[in-house]
């Protein structure tokens, strides 16, 4: 956008009192249009709202600028309504590609969902899951007994992946993190770092006895039999950050925290 034309902006919130009050002030400055019509989306909330908004903006490819009204706000900027148009137009851009999750469930139905952070498999009962793992059609781990496993994008590597003791990946790295969740056997396996061109297949063993759910960000599919995951370069989202506070810098800084 050039400075000669006022951009069309969609303002969304997490519907808390503070975010809604801030949104009312921003709408007086920016106006408000639908996400489908917008040049920019401004999201007022936390990382959960940002993730939801990115999924909504993905089809149009509309860049999203977040301001923190949540708890962590890792993907958000600090709130200020001052010079908001200039901030939008001078923001640093980070492009993220999602994972595509293809699932075969117990009924034989196939379903697909996209994940910007990670695809996760979780046991659904008290019994541990038994999962066979293949990478590019080659079995790499015949049986992992665990609470679950996740495959993370670089953007998602500082989220649940990090909590599960997975590695932090630089945003621009062409890599994915494969991280077990509470592995029981093999007990010392801590996961793998894979190329972003890899196609990872999970086959559930004893699936009737040991039911497992597959989750792509906030989309859950229960009683899965097979799950195949790969990076989808036909979709992308763009996050906006104030200069000097890029997502790349935040991820790098996270690696030196203790």
Is 47 an annotated catalytic residue?
yes
Structure tokens at 24: 């009312």
Q: What is the rounded CA–CA span in Å between residue 105 and residue 223?
A: 6
State how far the Cα of 171 lies from the Cα of 205, in Å rounded to an integer. Answer: 34
Sheet holding 9-13, edge to edge: 9-13, 40-45, 64-68, 237-241, 92-96
Distance between CA 234 and CA 239 in Å, rounded?
17
Residue 227 has φ and ψ, to the nearest 5°, of -135, 125
Catalytic one among 20, 32, 39, 47?
Answer: 47
Q: Tally the C-alpha atoms within 13 A of residue 84's C-alpha that lie toward its C-beta.
A: 26
Do β-strands 200-205 and 192-195 pair in parallel, antiparallel, or remain unpaired?
unpaired
| CA-based nearest residue to 167, from 182, 153, 187, 185 | 153
**Nearest 5 degrees, angle CA 232-CA 236-CA 240?**
150
Q: Which helix (H) or strand (E) holds 23?
A: helix 17-30
Tokens for 181, please give them: 């969740």
Strand pairing partners for 176?
Answer: 194
CA distance 251 to 157: 9
- Which amino acids are annotated catalytic? 47
């Amino acid at each position: 956008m050039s400075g000669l034309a006022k951009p069309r902006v969609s303002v969304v919130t997490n519907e808390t009192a503070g975010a809604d009050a801030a949104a009312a002030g921003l709408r007086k400055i920016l106006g408000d249009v639908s996400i489908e019509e917008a040049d920019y989306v401004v999201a007022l909330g936390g990382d959960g709202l940002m993730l939801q908004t990115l999924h909504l903006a993905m089809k149009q490819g509309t860049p999203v600028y977040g301001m923190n009204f949540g708890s962590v706000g890792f993907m958000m900027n600090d709130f200020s309504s001052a010079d908001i148009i200039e901030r939008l137009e001078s923001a640093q851009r980070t492009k993220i590609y999602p994972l595509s999750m293809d699932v075969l469930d117990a009924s034989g139905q196939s379903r697909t969902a996209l994940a910007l952070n990670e695809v996760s498999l979780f046991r659904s009962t008290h019994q541990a899951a038994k999962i066979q793992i293949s990478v590019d059609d080659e079995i790499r781990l015949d049986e992992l007994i665990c609470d679950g496993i996740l495959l993370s994008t670089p953007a998602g590597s500082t989220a649940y992946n990090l909590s599960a003791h997975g590695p932090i990946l630089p945003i621009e790295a062409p890599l994915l993190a494969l991280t077990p969740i509470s592995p029981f056997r093999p007990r010392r396996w801590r996961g793998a770092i894979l190329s972003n061109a890899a196609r990872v297949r999970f086959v559930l063993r004893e699936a009737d006895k040991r039911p497992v759910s597959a989750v792509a960000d906030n989309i859950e599919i229960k009683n899965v039999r097979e799950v195949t995951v790969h990076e989808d370069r036909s979709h992308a989202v763009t996050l906006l950050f104030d200069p000097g506070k890029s997502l790349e810098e935040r991820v790098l800084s996270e690696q030196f925290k203790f």
